[in-house]
Structure 1
Amino acid sequence: MDIRKLKEEVIAYSKRIGIDKIGFTTADPFTTLKGRLVRQRELNYHSGFEEPDIEKRTNPSLIFDEPASIISIALAYPSKMKTHVRGTKTDRRGIFSRSSWGEDYHTVLRNRLAKLEAFIIERYPNARCKSMVDTGELSDRAVAERAGIGWSGKNCSIITPEYGSYVYLGEMITNIPFEPDTPIEDQCGTCNKCLEACPTGALVQGGQINAKICISYLTQTKDFLPEVFRSKIGNRLYGCDTCQMVCPYNKGKDFHFHPEFEPDPELAKPRLKPLLSISNREFKNTFGKTAGAWRGKKPIQRNAILALGHFKDESAIPDLEQVLKHDPRPVIRGTAAWALGKIGGKKVNEILLQAKEREKDADVLKELEKALENLNGERKQ
């Protein structure tokens, strides 16, 4: 089999099935990445969502028998909505990050990789392949960087010359010795816009992130959000686009190649108040096919409550009062207390005092007491 010809055929076929960019690299261990991951763990900068075994993350031979190459793919996604919806003072909206617009990208990319696998095996019957997207052992970004898809930016995203960093990544390990492509030279230069714009300072330095304080990570947690970060969330319900939005290489980049990624404005920017009472079934039926639903409705509801507090939305007081009275989850009740405290007013003070009388959970009581203290402090000033 002519491997060089096969590579050309694979590239051509990838374009036909809607893969926007494809690159090839060796299956050698990712030694530089290993050092970085070890350091991240020492600093407690890792999120906990990733594969815990650093050896598996950096050595393809531990997850695939006799690997010879890795194929990296990228699909571009939109950065703007074709149809806009806007919130009002009495009907505020939240926002899902661009990477969660449309159908869950994990599903879409796995479908493309499955087609690519079938094509390769048809032409090379002895081929073996293992594909993964995001949740696999390997680092999508490390593979993409070495395969020439783009360079690893200071914002820890892969930046492509063609599509900026608005791309989804996936990869396939194979036993075929494809010729590797040349990596792209880092082009961030002296630019530090992403570091300067990061709302929580999660970008410690170029190429290093403290995932535990990254807003994208924080929006996916299920516990009480540390108070220092609550106001920084704004109206984000899932994810954060700030470091991408300020990147000069993303200026003017907006691609609508794939119908699956087209956002439904009502899902990408949903109304906040209805989220407070949405049932599990309604949430699954409405958001279940999106990437932002993978942690369930609890983080989304908590973040919606934070957003209402951020907006100081007085029209949401009755909704938040119902949450405080009837929601069985302490995190949701406690966050509602915080949001009511941010909104303030005599009516809120009464609601918080009544809630304090009936509340049994220690964490929620702390939130109620802090909210009342803040209200009383404001009245004295």
Structure 2
Amino acid sequence: MDIYALQQDIIRYSKEIGIDKIGFTTADPFSELKARLVRQQELGYNSGFEEPDLDKRTDATLLLPGATSIISIALAYPSKLEDAPKGKKGERRGLFCRSSWGLDYHRVLKDRLTKLEAYILEIVPNATVQSMVDTGALSDRAVAERAGIGWSGKNCAIITPEFGSYVYLGEMITNIPFIPDTPMEDQCGTCTKCLDACPTDALVGPGQIDAKRCISFLTQTKDFIPMEFRKKIGNRIYGCDSCQTSCPVNKGHNHQIHKEMEPDAEIAKAELIPMLQLSNREFKAKFGHVSGAWRGKNPLQRNAIIALAHFKEEAAIPTLVELVKKDTRPVIRGTAAWALGEIGNVDMLSVLYEALEKEEEQEVRNEIEYAIDVLKNIE
């Protein structure tokens, strides 16, 4: 088999099916990454969403016996929202991060990888392949870095010369011994703009993140968001782009290449109060196709409440009172009570005292008591 010719065919075909960048590397273990992951665990910096088995995260042969190579792919996504709706008093809006604009990227990349698999297997029928996108055990960024897709930035993202860090990543493990590409040299230099821009100081150092402080992580959790982070979240509904928008390499990058990635502005900048009134079915119909919906409506509605508190939006008070009084979800009841305190209308004291008298969940009671204290200090 002429590996070089096959590789060139695959590169050519990848462009035909809408893969913006492709690279090849060996299936050798990612030994340096494993050492960093061990240190992350020791420091308690993991989010809990990761594959717990560090060997699987760093050794492709455990996922596909006989693997010799890994193909890394990247697809560029838009970074600018055309004709973005403007929020105003009474009609405030929240933000979804750029990686959650358009069709869920897992589906888009899986489509490209499935086509690439079929092409390879047509040429090499006895090949074995296994693809993954984000939810697989391997580290997408580590594979992309070693395959020459881009360098690993201080913001823990892969940064490409062509598209900045606005790229989705996926990979395919195979037993075909491809010629590995050369990794790129780090080009961040002395720049620390991403570290300086992080709202919660989650970037504890170049290339090191305390995931539990990261707003992207916090917006995906299901419990109460710790008080120290709520005001820093602002009007973010899902994810955070601060470490990307602050990156000088990303300036001027807005790649509208893939139709399915084009954002619906009414979803990317969703109106907040209507979000709180959606049923499960309505939520799925409106937001179910975007990656930010993967945890369901509860976290996003909690985040919408925090955003309304950020704006001190008095028009939200009737909706928040309804949630405090009637919602069956403790996190929503408690966060709504907290928001009433932040909005600062002292007429809500009677509502909160009544809710406190009926509330049985201690965490919710804590939120109500906090809101009461805030309003009493305003009186």
Report the TM-score range of the alignment, normalised by the length of the smaller protein. over 0.9
| Cα distance between partner residues in 2 of 1:294 and 1:22 | 27
Q: Is the 8 A contact 2:346 2:376 kept in 1?
A: no
| Cα distance between partner residues in 2 of 1:378 and 1:156 | 42
| Cα distance between partner residues in 1 of 2:152 and 2:39 | 18
Task: Give deviations 1:193-237, integer Å, cap 9, x for gaps.
Answer: 000010000000000000111000000000001000011110001
Q: Which residue of 2 aligns with 1:321?
A: 321
Q: Which residue of 1 aligns with 2:93?
A: 93
| Cα distance between partner residues in 2 of 1:243 and 1:249 | 11
Q: Is the 8 A contact 2:84 2:269 kept in 1?
A: no
> Would you say 1:297 and 2:297 are equivalent positions?
yes
TM-superposed deviation, 1:178: 0.4
TM-superposed deviation, 1:378: 2.7
Q: Which residue of 1 aligns with 2:117?
A: 117
Amino acid of the residue matched to residue 56 of structure 2?
A: K
TM-superposed deviation, 1:346: 2.5
> Would you say 1:153 and 2:181 are equivalent positions?
no
| Cα distance between partner residues in 1 of 2:107 and 2:259 | 13
Provide structure 1 residue ranges, at least 5 long, that are not aligned to the other structure.
none
Q: Is the 8 A contact 2:143 2:171 kept in 1?
A: yes
Q: Which residue of 2 aligns with 1:228?
A: 228
Q: Which residue of 1 aligns with 2:359?
A: 359
| Cα distance between partner residues in 2 of 1:84 and 1:194 | 25
TM-superposed deviation, 1:341: 0.2
- Secondary structure of the residue aligned to 2:74 is strand
TM-superposed deviation, 1:285: 0.9
> Would you say 1:240 and 2:240 are equivalent positions?
yes
Amino acid of the residue matched to residue 293 of structure 1?
A: A
**Which is worse superposed, 76-85 or 150-159?**
76-85
Task: Give deviations 1:19-67, integer Å, cap 9, x for gaps.
Answer: 0000000000000000000000001101111111000000111111111
Task: Give deviations 1:146-179, integer Å, cap 9, x for gaps.
Answer: 0000000000000000000000000000110100
Q: Which residue of 1 aligns with 2:8?
A: 8
Amino acid of the residue matched to residue 341 of structure 1?
A: G
| Cα distance between partner residues in 1 of 2:348 and 2:275 | 21
- Secondary structure of the residue aligned to 1:277 is coil
| Cα distance between partner residues in 1 of 2:173 and 2:362 | 50
Counterparts of residues 326-365 of structure 1 (less than 5 Å): 326-365=326-365
**Which is worse superposed, 138-147 or 118-127?**
118-127
TM-superposed deviation, 1:83: 2.4
TM-superposed deviation, 1:258: 0.3
| Cα distance between partner residues in 2 of 1:310 and 1:41 | 33
**Number of residue pairs aligned between Structure 1 and Structure 2:** 379
| Cα distance between partner residues in 1 of 2:262 and 2:351 | 42
| Cα distance between partner residues in 1 of 2:348 and 2:278 | 23
Q: Which residue of 2 aligns with 1:177?
A: 177
Q: Which residue of 1 aligns with 2:60?
A: 60
Amino acid of the residue matched to residue 95 of structure 1?
A: L
| Cα distance between partner residues in 2 of 1:358 and 1:343 | 22
**Which is worse superposed, 163-172 or 271-280?**
271-280
**Which is worse superposed, 81-90 or 155-164?**
81-90
TM-superposed deviation, 1:74: 0.1
Q: Which residue of 1 aligns with 2:311?
A: 311
| Cα distance between partner residues in 2 of 1:16 and 1:54 | 35
| Cα distance between partner residues in 1 of 2:149 and 2:346 | 57
> Would you say 1:266 and 2:232 are equivalent positions?
no
TM-score by length of 1: 0.99
TM-superposed deviation, 1:363: 1.2
Q: Which residue of 1 aligns with 2:275?
A: 275
| Cα distance between partner residues in 1 of 2:304 and 2:100 | 16
Q: Which residue of 2 aligns with 1:215?
A: 215
Q: Which residue of 2 aligns with 1:203?
A: 203
TM-superposed deviation, 1:127: 1.0
Q: Which residue of 1 aligns with 2:143?
A: 143
- Secondary structure of the residue aligned to 1:232 is helix
| Cα distance between partner residues in 1 of 2:40 and 2:162 | 30
| Cα distance between partner residues in 1 of 2:363 and 2:190 | 45
TM-superposed deviation, 1:81: 1.2
Task: Give deviations 1:94-125, integer Å, cap 9, x for gaps.
Answer: 01000000100000100100000110111111
Amino acid of the residue matched to residue 194 of structure 2?
A: C
Q: Which residue of 1 aligns with 2:108?
A: 108
- Secondary structure of the residue aligned to 1:126 is coil
Q: Which residue of 1 aligns with 2:127?
A: 127
> Would you say 1:249 and 2:249 are equivalent positions?
yes
Percent sequence identity over matched residues?
66
Amino acid of the residue matched to residue 210 of structure 2?
A: N
Q: Is the 8 A contact 2:346 2:378 kept in 1?
A: no
| Cα distance between partner residues in 2 of 1:357 and 1:214 | 35
Q: Which runs of 4+ in 1 moved over 6 A?
A: none
TM-superposed deviation, 1:357: 2.2
TM-superposed deviation, 1:354: 2.0
